Amino acid sequence: MARTLEARERNGSFLPLLSQSRREQINSTEWLTVRRRWHTFNRMVEQRSPDLDLVFQALSDKTRRALLQTIAGRRLTVGELATPFANTMSLAAVSKHLDVLERASLIRRDREGKSRMVSLQPRALEAAQDWLAFYHQFWSDNLDRLQAHFESQAERESQTEKES
């Protein structure tokens, strides 16, 4: 045991304690660990916006969506926001949901005296809406082309049936 620890301290590995043939066996498998020298570039992964990810993560929970709906158009205290959820969760849980919304820049909390006022910040929602609008247009165009393709194919099939 002491010999093993000494070798580890000296060389950072256990290879010096092994026989020559065993060391060759260990080194002979290095080719199995292939290190790529090229990088894959994937637009869907590489060009994601972390801010947009936070927005969609925040919007993924129904409680946070309900909190946003409650805040819309007015400034409320954290206590006023927590009142409708008093039967289902604690004030601390509501505060944690508000932390997620604030991290995503969907809300803003300001201190006024002893209370914390919460208001909606629409800019982050605008970025999410722009992203969704782009993909809505993308899929609408593709689905329109697909529908046109099926309609033309059905028309061709009906013409061949009439000819036969």
pLDDT tens digits, residue range 72-88? 889 999 999 999 998 99
Domain parsing of the chain, residue ranges = 2-32, 49-123
Confidence check: pLDDT of 34 > 60: no
**Triad 73, 116, 121: Cα angle to 5°:** 35
pTM score over 0.75: no
Domain 49-123, architecture per CATH: Orthogonal Bundle (1.10)
pLDDT 10s digits, 16-29? 555 666 656 555 55
pLDDT > 70 fraction of the chain, expressed in percent and rounded: 69
Strand segments (E) across 3-159: 76-77, 107-112, 115-120
